[in-house]
Structure 1
Amino acid sequence: MILKRNVMALALASAGLCFTAGIHAAPADNGNGSAAPGAAQDAPAAQNAPTKKDDKKTDDTTAPKQSAELAKSLEGITVTGYNAAIEKSIDYQRYADTIQNVITAADIGGLPDQSIADALTRLPGVSAERIAGQASQVNIRGLSGNFIQTTLDGREQPSTSGSNYIQFDQYPSELINMATVYKSSQASLIEGGVGGTIAMQTANPLDNKKDQSLNVDARGSYTGLAHNVAGANALGYRLSAAYQGKFLDNTLGVGLGVAQMYQPHVSEQFVGEAYSSTQQQLNVNSPQQGYLPEGVQLQQNGGQERRTGYLGTVVWKPSDELQITADSFFSKFKNESFGYGFRSQNFYNNSAQITNPVFGPNGSVIGGTVSTNPAGVGNAQFSNETTADNYSTTTNVFSGGLNLKWNSGPWHIDGDLSLSRAQSHEVNVDTTADPYTGLGTANPQLASQSMTYLLTGRSIGQVSLANPGMYTDLSQMALSRYGVYPYVYHDRTKAFRTSVKYDLPNNSIFSALEAGVYANNHTYNADRSAYVYGSEWNSDPSLGQPPLTINSSNATTECWKGTFGGFPCFLKLNGPGILASHDITANPVKDIINNNWTYVQSGQVDQKIRDLFLMADIDAQVFGHELTGNVGMRVSHDSQFSYGLQQVGNGAGIPITDGNGKTSSDFAPLNVGKKYTDYLPSLNLIYHLTDNDQVRFSAAKVLSRPPINSMLAGSGSYITNGNTYNIYGGTSPLLNPLRAQQYDATYEHYFDDSSGAITAGVFFKHIKSFIQQVTYNNFDFSTVGITVPINPATNAPYLNGDYQTAYNAKGGDLRGLEVAFTKTHFLPGIWSGIGVDANLALTSSSVKNPSNLGGPTQMIGLPGLSQRVASAAVFYDQGPFSARVSANYRSHFVSDTQIAVDNQLVVFASELVYDFQASYNINDKLTVVYQLLNASNQPTRTYFTNQQQTGTIQYFGRTNYLGLQLKL
């Protein structure tokens, strides 16, 4: 009883300090010192593995007996290269209390991958979505990044994506020492990982084997596809340097790191756009109907990517009891991405006529000749428009804090104070030009046009133009529209965590008790603005912004090469230059008159999280075998409120003056939100059958908070029939978190001397809800606190109308099987350096989503879920030579990351990506390295519900790296 009082008193005292200070920070091991007591929050303490020069240390994330075994095993690893990294990873997995997979670097800067996302895809059930050819958003067990919690040195990471998911290409692999994927939960883990938790760690300089070390890596790159893309550069480089030093009799450690990447951004893509949701008449001369696509695109993407990351760590350990760590991480990623080509637009809505149609499944039209409607028929807005897009993005992430650990006898106290922030600024420029007759007159007219196309499923389709020379003739071409739509996001977190652990060495069931608190203040801002000149196809001459003529200094003729050779040539446009030649300067601002959606989509979300947890480590004997693990409870109290503007109309709001100096009173401020509390029990059990065999079982209630951008309060409105008030927006600050129950069971066999493992496991998740958009008809707005404005014609409120919002749709089950096999040193003699690492995950779900982007409404799968995910690698370390060949496979999956005119929900086809790396140690300090990424030039292929309805076929090319590593 006295013990319980002491534990709770310390926990409450820590909580009091937290709330008195009013500063909040993330729990968990900061990765730069010994782990937080007890499974300390997020990652196994890789840095706590003892070295032959250090005193014995134990990993506090496991029970004492397991910690001793882990320390003993890691100390015995003397192999190098890939074998060393694999064997370290096996031991961390073996002795952890939770079901987890680990990747480690044999040396700092030693991960053989372009980004952490690439490294993570080597783990069972982990896959990544390739954006611009690079692994970016990570999926775990069939769940997308919005279901995944991510930490760096134990601190929640802010997002640059505009949503919850982390873009892992923001994190240079050269600065990450270890990454852990938690597949089961425990009370001390920060909530948020229904799919899993990814914990990245940097190195602790006091655990470095040398008193002083400096690792320098320099590699040049070559991307052959750049020669096919206008203005792209084929050459790039990666540079990194990492220093670690120990001073004052190994009581002061300093770690510094910098990593820079420059590489071309190149791709070629063929895009088939989404289909009409209803059948439409194909042409005026025939009653024939079909589901029509919006259009097709051909585009070259060029530009450059530059990422620079910095890392700084200072660790002071004046005694065995006390350790203080200050550390920071900063990464800036600038992606200059330009797209040039053409887009055949407006096939449907009676804007064009289609003859000689080719029908695919379900009545979809996958080919035919598309031409301008006869005079006086339809909208006459079909055009093969020339496009110049700019999707350039600059993002940065900062994460840093101060960590204090105190260990005295059975008592362990950990406190962590942190600040994290992220910013993303996307330019998003859309430039279109079209052929006209009567240029230079007061009334230029869109020229009559015709094109023939055929979609060929997952292969590049066919496109031909009736008069291709017209589209490179500057006497006929003019800029119709120039739009700039900046997206700016800010994501900031202030967090505080403290925990207290008490060891119970003489208890027959529990080896330790731990309690802690966590507080996090999270603020998200979205800021939209716009500038638009003209109208697409000059569809709105009333704007008084006619098509702009193009001179030769602002346009060059480009033609396709290689796989895309044979498609019509096009103009590479300089949109800002064309405007400047007509004395026009683009100035994007918030526009309350012509683009009032810039106010609807801007706003702020504030989240306050206050957590308590209590956990007991288990170490008992059951039927003559050891049973270890933990049991605990986490109580999470969340408050979420959003500040935005609602369009009420009729001057019923407050006066707002926009960036153009125009004032409107049609918007009223909103402050909407809710609070909720969740009780999250967890259980992890490991039954040790033999020294090399064990069975695990885990169960937990978990949650992921709603995507932050889906909780914006802003909404727009419109009036129909003069008396009905409708609201659009598609977001809601009243969303509930994504709650789930999950269960895991695994069997694990480990080979002697940490030389490999065979594991097999099953999992089951019941997810209560998913976030979806919905439109309610004849909705009573008063039920959600929305006041319907007064209709001046009747002096009474408008009638209730449609309400577009986000809601918690019905959830479903997710189940799967994961098997993995790893073995090193299984052959004799010179072949003993060969090792293999392979895994397979099979996942299924009852969840289906409706989609009408392929024509008639059809049910498609859960976004992010591939039914089959596999990876395999063969590696070899012998003397100075090391080599690794790897392959990653994932079957088809659904995602909304395809960009046509807007983001579209499509099916990504299965893909298999091969990589190769080899190195040779010239001496003990200098190594030469070669890498080949995407060796088979695997493209990204998408389609709409049926494989014949092409979405995007996008090629990124192969990338070669050659360089040197210097270790001092």
Structure 2
Amino acid sequence: MNDYLKDSKNKSERLLNIKRTAIALLVNSILLPSAYAAETENKDEEIETIVVSGIAQSYRNAINDKRAAPTIVDSLSSSDIGALPDLSVAETLERITGVTGDRFKGNASEISIRGLGPFLGMSTVNGRAISSGSGNRSVAFSQFPSELVNGVTVYKAQTADLLEGGVSGLIDLKTIRPADYGKERLQAEIKLNYNPYQAKLNDDDGVGHKTSFSYTNTLDTDLGELGFAFGYAGGKTSSPEESYNTSSTLRDCNSDYLSDGGSNCSFKDDNTAAKDGKALNGDYYYISNLFYYRQMESIEDRDAAIVALQWKPNDSIDINIDGQWSNRNYFEDRHDLYFDDGRRRIHDWTTNEEHALTSYSGESRISSYGEYRVRDEEYKGVGFNLEWQVNDSLKVTADAAYSGTERYQDTTYARFRSNRLFYQWEAGDNQSFANIKNVYTDKNDPAGSSVDWLTEIQDLSFFSGDSEARTYRFDIKDTINSYKLDAVYTLEDGFFSTINLGMASSSHKHLNYQEERLSQGTPSADRPAKIAALEEQCQIDWPQKDYGEDANSPVTQWATFDTKCGHSLLLGDTVLAPDPKAPTAGDIDLVEDVTSIYALTNFVTTIGDKYLTGNFGVRYVTTDVTSKSIRTAYDVETDQDGFVSITPNNEIEYNVYKNSYSNILPSLNLSLELDDDLILRGAVFAGISRPDMWYMGAGRNMNINTNDEQYTTVEEALVGNVSALGNPFVEAIESKNYDINLSWYYETDTMLSAALYYKTFNAKFSSETKAEGVTIDGQEYTAQVTGIPTVKDDESSIKGLELTLMHKFNSLPAPLDGLGISTTYNYADSDFETPEAGSSFSSQEVRDMIEPANLAGLSKHNFTNQLYWEGDALSIRLSYKYRSEYLKPFGSNLSQTNRIVDDTQSVDLSTAYKINKNFKLKFQVLNLTNEAYAEQRVTHGAFNRIEYSGTKYFLGLQYRM
């Protein structure tokens, strides 16, 4: 039978030692110094039980879970709450084969499985869907601190009893069931963190803190066995940033100001670069609307708690109640130096082979920006689960849960600009910021008219050209109510071992209030007084030392101001208070109701002397979407000349759109024991992933301006002026999936696994134009609505290879027997194409010449290696992670240029020392080599973001009883 506790009793001790030595030699030859090879002599030893804890225990549990699972899974877990040796759940997930994170600001987020982006995955906690504070379905794993979680499982193949929603896979977080744990455990930890980049800030020592505690116990009472657990984790951490950035808009140009004239650069056949023929035959370049250098402080305060109650009144009933709560508040204090006119009067330009600029000259205003952003986010989750063993054959499980998230953000912004100057720009690379070689006043004499701009920008009076204040606010509420009922009937004899039946329903409510913005400029007559007051009342010292040192920044500081003070000064008696809850066409107000039923049967048989186990089943899913649209009402008047005037009034029109669709999801999972320690698994299943909520809004934007143009009919006025802000009729993405996995469990702490997978799916989002009914002044008209999000009927595929090796060198003599490794590699290749869709390019012909990106989140190569040593008191783990480049989309905007994250790698260190049976000292380092984060747009060399956030150090003391 497929039982991971089964010993290889039919193997001789000599054969076990040979296999042990062979694997050790293989691993040594790849990852360890050859000096250890002499220690791996083939000796006949007596097999003994080896007790492990900490790192080794999490890997042993992973091996056991994979061997026992009814389908293809990978996991990391511990029986104790908070015993996983990682700083975050996302860090734990990245140790699992084929799982990668987007390491933004030095922290892992936006998890992808097997090269398929976050939007094709599904995440649950204790088997229940999790709400999200964004407009998509990705989960903020940071709201579940690793100190309060004891396991994560990634289901890479589907069974009919699992929640649908993950084409790539399903991630399930586990919290403790205290009565099953069965022990009393008190744990407390205080952890100090040190961030050298934070320590650069004035009057800041760079030190933050995290604290956590948890208590678990089980009581035998007259009412039965009662287990309870509660825990808290919280702290204050920093994520400072030094970065170079460009705007999200990219344009193609082939003009040269000195030859062609004009202001903003353009793309024309008669420009200088195209004189020998058509424009596309000559050289051209891609350029952003602006670029800037950013200095930023970011502080996060987070509190999280869990509670679990388990009651077993008798041997037949098991009742569990669990809850999770998280509250996150963070602020970002940004100071930016902008070159606002990125496309103005471009000349003397050079490019690389892919038309990315390597140098150019231009003219721009230089600005000092301040932005202060505050975000509050709260998560609440609670679940109830009842298991009833009705009799020896029948088990019934009922589950009900709630998950809710609210996110609110308020942004204060102030800007002060200089007059225009010429400048010479030089490209950086994935480690260095772009360089400004010279700033000057005469385009014909750069050297003779050079300005000491690095000195000039230290004075706020330099930025006296114009100024503006803005306020932005948004609010998102997302809730899920879910219910499940499952029954398992065990059969005594025959091919089938169980019959599983169940149903599930959920109601997902998403209310996404569009970000509202209000602004106020400064009249030219008031600008001198405003800048003088700014210098007197709001100017601050440069906030830090050594800015841009690691990035070879051309600028190390500039005149800055307190953003909130500058904002208040610009407004005077005016109050900018945008109300995000005021109804606008961009609001998303939808309910997604899902009902599913399933039937599944498990079976056990033999093929010759080999055990074959598995299951097959089918899940039928119905999805009902109700989306409310908000539109401004219009009045229509006809003047004496017969021209119509269409003007908005103060009324709001609401319309409700409903869509319903169904999916049938069959699945088959097989597990064949080729030998006592060799298991072959296969899976064939259909899956779905639902589109992100921001695609399912029903808003329509009417951009009708009868002051600029004259129309004789309403129909004429509507042409080209109605655009979509969502599509409630977009449906789930279906996939067909094929997996095969071979795993060799040659001993308790060693596994070698290889998997092949192949998936076909339709996941190409694009926009289309359709005729829709539009109500104007109480009358129905037909209009062509542009920009409707849709999934194209264009099948794509992905194929991949996964390799996993886990091994602990138990056969080596002490102290080398504490060595262990975990190495994972995933290769993914897809014929999926994300064509360039940037709306700012001059023509579709130009877009077609740009190489398409791949699937969002897909990295062709992912590699992780964990090398650890663990003794009785001391443990050390060195981790290396590598991820090749991947596409990172911009939310729901389908007309943005493709953004590619450059190859990323990081080295992390984790150590722990057990002082005694109660106390443990921990030391951890993230991003040990201070790797930069880099993004490119459209083509290699066109860097739009280079970010440094520094190495992070953690020192903690843990108490366990």
- Which TM-score band applies after superposition, normalised by the shorter structure? 0.7 to 0.9
Residues 397-416 of structure 1: pairs in structure 2 closer than 5 A:
397-407=379-389, 408-416=391-399
The yes-or-no answer on 1:260 pairing with 2:234 is: yes
Task: Give the deviation of 1:362 after TM superposition.
Answer: 4.4
The yes-or-no answer on 1:92 pairing with 2:80 is: no
Partner SS state of residue 132, structure 2: coil
Task: Give the deviation of 1:959 after TM superposition.
Answer: 0.7
Name the CA distance, whole Å, in 2 between partners of 1:517 and 1:330: 27
Letter of the structure 2 residue corresponding to residue 748 of structure 1? S
The yes-or-no answer on 1:421 pairing with 2:409 is: no
Partner SS state of residue 117, structure 1: helix
Q: Which residue of 1 aligns with 2:209?
A: 237
Q: Which residue of 1 aligns with 2:867?
A: 874
Q: Which runs of 5+ in 1 are unaligned?
A: 1-63, 372-381, 436-446, 653-661
Which of 834, 839, 849 is the aligned partner of 2:819? 834
Q: Which residue of 2 aligns with 1:218?
A: 190
Q: Which residue of 1 aligns with 2:577?
A: 588
Bigger shift: 422-431 or 274-283? 274-283
Task: Give the deviation of 1:632 after TM superposition.
Answer: 0.5
Which of 545, 559, 581 is the aligned partner of 1:571? 559
Letter of the structure 1 residue corresponding to residue 409 of structure 2? E
Task: Give the deviation of 1:550 after TM superposition.
Answer: 1.6
Task: Give the deviation of 1:356 after TM superposition.
Answer: 2.3
Q: Which residue of 1 aligns with 2:925?
A: 932
Residues 794-809 of structure 1: pairs in structure 2 closer than 5 A:
800-801=783-784, 803-809=786-792
Which of 751, 759, 769 is the aligned partner of 1:757? 751
Task: Give the deviation of 1:76 after TM superposition.
Answer: 7.3
Name the CA distance, whole Å, in 1 between partners of 2:78 and 2:338: 46
Task: Give the deviation of 1:585 after TM superposition.
Answer: 5.2
Residues 921-960 of structure 1: pairs in structure 2 closer than 5 A:
921-960=914-953
Name the CA distance, whole Å, in 1 between partners of 2:161 and 2:316: 22
Number of residue pairs matched by the alignment = 847
Task: Give the deviation of 1:366 after TM superposition.
Answer: 3.9
Q: Which residue of 2 aligns with 1:357?
A: 349
Which of 299, 303, 318 is the aligned partner of 1:304? 299
Task: Give the deviation of 1:347 after TM superposition.
Answer: 2.3
Letter of the structure 2 residue corresponding to residue 248 of structure 1? D
Task: Give the deviation of 1:233 after TM superposition.
Answer: 5.6
Cα deviation digits, residues 93-118 of structure 1 (max 9, x gap): 11101101001136321222221111
Q: Which residue of 1 aligns with 2:90?
A: 117
Which of 728, 731, 743 is the aligned partner of 1:736? 731
Cα deviation digits, residues 432-490 of structure 1 (max 9, x gap): 2112xxxxxxxxxxx23233221223232212544344433333435622222212111
Identity across aligned pairs (percent)?
A: 20
Cα deviation digits, residues 570-624 of structure 1 (max 9, x gap): 23332331243353454332489xxx9x712213110111110100012111222
Check conservation: 1:534, 1:543, Cα contact below 8 A.
Answer: no
Task: Give the deviation of 1:90 after TM superposition.
Answer: 0.5
Check conservation: 1:651, 1:666, Cα contact below 8 A.
Answer: no
Partner SS state of residue 887, structure 1: strand
Q: Which residue of 1 aligns with 2:359?
A: 367
Partner SS state of residue 815, structure 2: helix
Check conservation: 2:54, 2:84, Cα contact below 8 A.
Answer: no
Q: Which residue of 2 aligns with 1:906?
A: 899
Cα deviation digits, residues 741-768 of structure 1 (max 9, x gap): 101011111012x121111110011012
TM-score (norm 2): 0.83
Q: Which residue of 1 aligns with 2:31?
A: none
Q: Which residue of 2 aligns with 1:45?
A: none
Residues 434-445 of structure 1: pairs in structure 2 closer than 5 A:
434-435=417-418
Partner SS state of residue 118, structure 1: helix
Partner SS state of residue 929, structure 1: strand
Partner SS state of residue 570, structure 1: coil
Q: Which residue of 2 aligns with 1:174?
A: 147
Cα deviation digits, residues 797-851 of structure 1 (max 9, x gap): 8784551121112341011000111111242332111111001100011011112
Task: Give the deviation of 1:346 after TM superposition.
Answer: 2.6
Check conservation: 1:265, 1:337, Cα contact below 8 A.
Answer: no
Partner SS state of residue 122, structure 2: strand
Letter of the structure 2 residue corresponding to residue 521 of structure 1? S
Q: Which residue of 2 aligns with 1:432?
A: 415
Check conservation: 2:431, 2:932, Cα contact below 8 A.
Answer: no
Name the CA distance, whole Å, in 1 between partners of 2:783 and 2:345: 38
Check conservation: 1:405, 1:414, Cα contact below 8 A.
Answer: yes
Partner SS state of residue 735, structure 1: coil
Name the CA distance, whole Å, in 1 between partners of 2:702 and 2:546: 45
Check conservation: 1:231, 1:302, Cα contact below 8 A.
Answer: no
Q: Which residue of 2 aligns with 1:340?
A: 335
Check conservation: 2:764, 2:834, Cα contact below 8 A.
Answer: no
Check conservation: 1:149, 1:196, Cα contact below 8 A.
Answer: yes
Check conservation: 1:477, 1:550, Cα contact below 8 A.
Answer: no
Task: Give the deviation of 1:69 after TM superposition.
Answer: 5.3
Bigger shift: 513-522 or 804-813? 804-813
Check conservation: 2:219, 2:225, Cα contact below 8 A.
Answer: yes
Cα deviation digits, residues 313-348 of structure 1 (max 9, x gap): 111101110111111001112221222121212323
Letter of the structure 2 residue corresponding to residue 789 of structure 1? I
Q: Which residue of 2 aligns with 1:605?
A: 590
Q: Which runs of 5+ in 2 are unaligned?
A: 10-47, 261-270, 274-283, 440-450, 638-646
Letter of the structure 2 residue corresponding to residue 819 of structure 1? L
Letter of the structure 2 residue corresponding to residue 677 of structure 1? S
Cα deviation digits, residues 402-430 of structure 1 (max 9, x gap): 11111131110100111110111122444
Check conservation: 2:149, 2:176, Cα contact below 8 A.
Answer: yes
Bigger shift: 474-483 or 352-361? 474-483
Which of 455, 464, 467 is the aligned partner of 2:427? 455
Partner SS state of residue 908, structure 2: strand
Letter of the structure 2 residue corresponding to residue 770 of structure 1? K
Letter of the structure 2 residue corresponding to residue 130 of structure 1? R
Name the CA distance, whole Å, in 1 between partners of 2:430 and 2:585: 38
Partner SS state of residue 143, structure 1: coil
Task: Give the deviation of 1:230 after TM superposition.
Answer: 6.1
Residues 18-167 of structure 1: pairs in structure 2 closer than 5 A:
66=3, 78-105=51-78, 107-167=80-140
Partner SS state of residue 650, structure 1: strand
Which of 508, 512, 515 is the aligned partner of 2:501? 515
User: In 2 relative to 1, CA 852–430 (structure 1 residues): closer, same or farther, beyond 3 Å?
Assistant: farther
Name the CA distance, whole Å, in 1 between partners of 2:924 and 2:356: 44
Residues 500-579 of structure 1: pairs in structure 2 closer than 5 A:
500-507=487-494, 509-535=495-521, 550-558=534-542, 561=547, 562-564=549-551, 566-567=554-555, 569-579=557-567
Check conservation: 2:199, 2:207, Cα contact below 8 A.
Answer: no
Name the CA distance, whole Å, in 2 between partners of 1:618 and 1:223: 54
Q: Which residue of 2 aligns with 1:892?
A: 885
Q: Which residue of 1 aligns with 2:21?
A: none
Name the CA distance, whole Å, in 2 between partners of 1:470 and 1:204: 64
Name the CA distance, whole Å, in 2 between partners of 1:409 and 1:159: 40
Q: Which residue of 1 aligns with 2:372?
A: 390
Name the CA distance, whole Å, in 1 between partners of 2:668 and 2:300: 44
Cα deviation digits, residues 881-934 of structure 1 (max 9, x gap): 11111111110111026999x986411111111111111111111111111111
Check conservation: 1:187, 1:633, Cα contact below 8 A.
Answer: yes
Q: Which residue of 2 aligns with 1:378?
A: none
User: In 2 relative to 1, CA 518–533 (structure 1 residues): closer, same or farther, beyond 3 Å?
Assistant: same
Letter of the structure 2 residue corresponding to residue 714 of structure 1? G
The yes-or-no answer on 1:771 pairing with 2:765 is: yes
Q: Which residue of 2 aligns with 1:273?
A: 247
Q: Which residue of 1 aligns with 2:23?
A: none
Task: Give the deviation of 1:273 after TM superposition.
Answer: 3.5
Task: Give the deviation of 1:876 after TM superposition.
Answer: 1.2
Cα deviation digits, residues 237-261 of structure 1 (max 9, x gap): 1111010011125700010100113
Partner SS state of residue 836, structure 1: strand
Question: Root-mean-square deviation (CA), in Å?
Answer: 3.0
Name the CA distance, whole Å, in 2 between partners of 1:888 and 1:198: 20
Letter of the structure 2 residue corresponding to residue 485 of structure 1? Y
